[in-house]
Amino acid sequence: MKKNLGVVQAVFPMPVLMVAAYDEEGHVNVMNAAWGMICNSDRIALFIDEDHKTTQNLLRTRAFTVALADRAHMDVADFFGIATGNKMPDKFERTGYHAVKSTFVNAPVIEEFPVVMECELADVTSTDSFYAIVGRIVNTAAEESVLSENGKVDPSRLNALLFDQFQHGYYVTGEQVGKAWHEGAPLMKKA
């Protein structure tokens, strides 16, 4: 029997995304965003507040990067969610992390995070219910250490962080338990 929990954001897992943009003086600003997802073959949607420093920066530059946080960098990823660039101008510098300018867009690539999508601002949607930034992914780069033999990102090597809205915990990716578009195929056959 199920127990009623009230209004709970019962989606698991949620990604732990590091959204980065340059401010008006060219300084790096990064935020932790769990409410984001791929919304088309070359688009990512971020449901973030309009008043975030990172949001204001990427609206101004019309470019940003989205990196996948991993277990090895959990402390800094969490810090990027705790601290606000609106009140802490040296937020990125405090971490000791390194950024290089993307060769594809006017946005920083944080070197420590293993996978990054480099994006141009495509759309902004604002309703009474949500504020969404949509980026067109122009390039994705990954450290060789997280690639499989076929040259694609291997989730078992990535150790990507996942956010749990139930207990506010972090988890990591790992074991593959099935193959998409394969496990349900037998049900396609008529009995």
User: How much is the pLDDT for 20?
Assistant: 98
Q: Residue 176's pLDDT is what? A: 82
Residue 150 has pLDDT above 80, yes or no: yes
Q: Identify the domain containing residue 82 by its residue range.
A: 14-186
| Count of structural domains within the chain | 1
Classify residue 94: in a domain, yes or no: yes
Interval 39-47 mean pLDDT: 97
pTM of the complete model = 0.94
Q: pLDDT tens digits for 75-86?
A: 999 999 999 999
**Domain presence at residue 18:** yes
111 is a domain residue: yes
pLDDT average, residue stretch 126-145: 96
User: Is residue 9 in a domain?
Assistant: no
Domain presence at residue 6: no
Residue 187 pLDDT greater than 90, yes or no: no
Q: Which residue has the higher pLDDT, 12 or 135?
A: 135
- At 191 the pLDDT is 66
Which pLDDT tens digit goes with each residue over 93-104? 999 999 999 999
**Residue 189: per-residue pLDDT:** 86
Give me the chain's average pLDDT, please: 95
- Kindly state the average pLDDT of the residues 92-121: 98
Closest by CA position to 48, among listed 111, 135, 108, 109: 135
Q: Is 1 part of a structural domain of the chain?
A: no
- The CATH number linked to 143 is 2.30.110.10
**Is there a domain that residue 180 lies in?**
yes
Per DSSP, helices labelled H in the chain are: 53-61, 74-82, 91-95, 155-158
Q: DSSP string of 89-137? A: TTHHHHHT--EEE-SSSSSEEETTSSEEEEEEEEEEEE-SS-EEEEEEE
Cα end-to-end span (Å), the chain: 32
Mean pLDDT, to the nearest integer, of 110-119?
Answer: 98
Residue 2: inside a domain:
no
